[in-house]
Amino acid sequence: MKHLGERLAALSPEQRAQLALRLGRSAGAITEAAVPAIPVHSETRFEPFPLTDLQQAYWLGRTDAFALGGIASRAYLELEAPNLDLNRLERAWNALIRRHDMLRAVIGDDGSQRVLPDTPEYRIAVHDLRDATAAEQVERLNERYEHMLRDLRPASEWPLFDIQASILSGGLVRLHVVQDVLNVDGGSMATLF
């Protein structure tokens, strides 16, 4: 992993200007000392901590307390790749889970979040559609989409994501990915993918 000074030096002029704007400094004043340190509290890493305001809004929106509630704020993505090595992908995803605490986060019934120290190995569900007709494949893919989009898992249960794969004719693999935005924002999701 690059040292902070190396990462700052690698910023484009546009990125440096954006960081300067966020830090309330001039672009020339962006040094390692100008970037606030993020405190690490290893001893309390797995203890409950509060939700951000946005997380709290998402969490409350999952309940029936509001007229338009009962819906999770989630991102759904489909990706296709020929002959994708699903075992390798699964190993890589599990490495990400171990590396990124928020992929192991859950939200308690009291509205606090916590990072689970350990989770079981995540298994990607695989649906083999190679023997289905083209029309059956389309129907099953639509069913998979609808099911994954509407599967409202409790925020208190890990994982807050779901990855499934459909193997199609000719070895094409379609990944179906659902990520709850309670624990991963748009920027983090872009970094993950």
pLDDT in tens, 6-16: 877 788 888 87
Q: What is the pLDDT of residue 140?
A: 97
- Which one, of 131, 152, 140, 134, lies nearest residue 176 by Cα? 140
Q: What is the pLDDT of residue 5?
A: 74
Strands annotated E in the chain? 49-50, 74-82, 105-107, 112-115, 125-128, 161-167, 172-180
Mean pLDDT of 118-138: 97
User: Omega of the bond prior to 120 within 30 degrees of 0, cis?
Assistant: no
Answer yes or no: are the C-beta atoms of 174 and 140 closer than 8 Å.
no
Answer yes or no: are the C-beta atoms of 144 and 168 closer than 8 Å.
no
Please indicate, yes or no, whether the overall pTM of this predicted structure exceeds 0.85: no
Backbone phi, then psi, for 153, in 5-degree steps? Answer: -80, 145
Collect all residues with Cβ–Cβ distance below 8 Å to 84 and sequence separation of at least 6: 165, 173, 175
pLDDT higher than threshold 70 for residue 33: no
Exposed / middle / buried, residue 105 (Cβ in 10 Å: 0-12, 13-18, 19+)? buried
Mean pLDDT of 50-56: 93
The single-letter DSSP state of residue 166 is E
Cβ-based neighbour number of residue 67 at 10 Å: 6
Q: What is the pLDDT of residue 27?
A: 63
Residues in the chain: 193
Largest CA distance in the chain: 62
pLDDT higher than threshold 60 for residue 121: yes
